[in-house]
Amino acid sequence: MDQQLPNEIKTVRDGLARIRERRSLLAQDDFAGRASLLDEEHDLEAQLADLLHRAAREDMSDAGSEAASQTDLSRNQSLTDVDV
């Protein structure tokens, strides 16, 4: 897996952290601000879930291709085939 996907995941997680910080600074009665942050948070959480799902698929694909490249399906010689 290249670095693009991990970088995107980090960016989204950083965005979620910024939302938590901004929410802590809002006044208790700033309902419009809280609703806006909640919408933004839900969008980022959905994006993060998608990125994590893609990362898992890529890891599985990488693992499968790695296993395939290291699997030798050629016939091994049995002891009776070896010249002595």
Q: What is the mean pLDDT of residues 1-18?
A: 91
Indicate the domain borders of the chain: 1-55
Note the pLDDT tens digit of each residue in 22-35. Answer: 999 999 999 999 99
What's the pLDDT score for residue 2? 75
Instruction: Tell me the CB-side half-sphere exposure of residue 34, using CA atoms within 13 A.
Output: 8
Q: What is the CA radius of gyration of the chain?
A: 25
Q: What is the mean pLDDT of residues 64-74?
A: 54
Distance CA(60)–CA(54), nearest Å, equals 10
Identify residue 47 by its one-letter amino acid code: Q
Distance CA(58)–CA(67), nearest Å, equals 14
Distance CA(17)–CA(11), nearest Å, equals 10
pLDDT band at residue 3 under the 50/70/90 scheme: confident
Q: Which residue has the higher pLDDT, 14 or 3?
A: 14
